[in-house]
């Protein structure tokens, strides 16, 4: 009985330690969007309240996701030895805040914003790499942006950017997804200059 109890205790400890492991294991490559590049001029942006960007469950982790369209385009697969530094929705939220600040926009968080500010909500629909052949791939970033005044819907738009990956691997995916994200954010800011109410 004592042996079985010790064995059970050991197995429980091993399971708990496995659950607590770092999502980015040692030796894995970790990517982010890199430094903020120079961006095109944007028109005047109104003050906004910005909610955190949300994503579906399959994108709600630091996994770098790809599909093999030539084999099975319905299966999203994670790279095993390459990860984002945080989930894509969090990376996009940080980048958008930085871009808004660089463009001279005034952004308040959802928790401390005045009720009079328009509220921007963004849902991430796609953030992945798609292999058309084993040696060629394209990245896609897609999102829906909705602007509210209180409970009143002011405007909504769907945004999508895609571009070839610079190489058919995780490093190429990371570079292309960062570039595509910056282009999508530029599209979003240009939309905001016309969609948001002027004070």
* pLDDT tens by residue, 34-85: 999 887 778 788 889 999 999 999 999 999 999 999 999 899 999 999 999 9
Q: Is residue 27 part of a domain?
A: no
Domain total of the chain: 1
Q: Is residue 183 part of a domain?
A: yes
**Nearest to residue 32, comparing CAs of 138, 159, 182, 143?**
182
Q: Is residue 16 part of a domain?
A: no
Q: Say which CATH number the domain at 56 has.
A: 3.40.50.10610
Q: Is residue 143 part of a domain?
A: yes
Q: Is residue 39 part of a domain?
A: no
Q: Is residue 128 part of a domain?
A: yes
Give the domain range for residue 152.
Answer: 45-195
Tens of pLDDT, residues 118-140? 999 999 999 999 999 999 999 99
d(CA 87, CA 32) in angstroms, rounded, equals 10
Q: Is residue 162 part of a domain?
A: yes
pTM higher than 0.85, yes or no?
no
**Nearest to residue 100, comparing CAs of 188, 162, 179, 33?**
188
Q: Is residue 26 part of a domain?
A: no
């Amino acid at each position: 009985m004592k042996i079985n109890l010790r064995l059970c205790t050991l197995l429980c400890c091993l399971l708990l330690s496995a659950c607590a492991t770092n999502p980015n294991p040692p030796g894995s490559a970790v990517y982010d969007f890199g430094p903020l590049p120079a961006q095109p001029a944007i028109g005047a942006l109104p003050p906004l309240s910005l909610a955190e960007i949300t994503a579906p469950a399959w994108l709600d982790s630091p996994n770098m996701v790809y599909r093999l369209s030539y084999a099975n385009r319905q299966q999203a697969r994670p790279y095993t030895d390459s990860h984002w530094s945080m989930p894509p929705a969090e990376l996009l939220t940080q980048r958008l805040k930085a871009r808004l600040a660089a463009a001279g926009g005034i952004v308040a968080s959802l928790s401390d914003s005045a009720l009079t500010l328009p509220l921007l909500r963004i849902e991430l629909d796609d953030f992945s790499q798609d292999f058309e052949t084993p040696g060629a791939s394209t990245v896609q970033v897609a999102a829906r942006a909705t602007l509210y005044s209180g409970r009143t819907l002011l405007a909504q738009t769907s945004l999508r950017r895609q571009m070839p990956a610079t190489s058919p691997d995780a490093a190429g995916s990371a570079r292309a997804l960062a570039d595509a994200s910056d282009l999508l954010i530029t599209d979003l800011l240009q939309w905001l200059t016309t969609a948001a109410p002027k004070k």
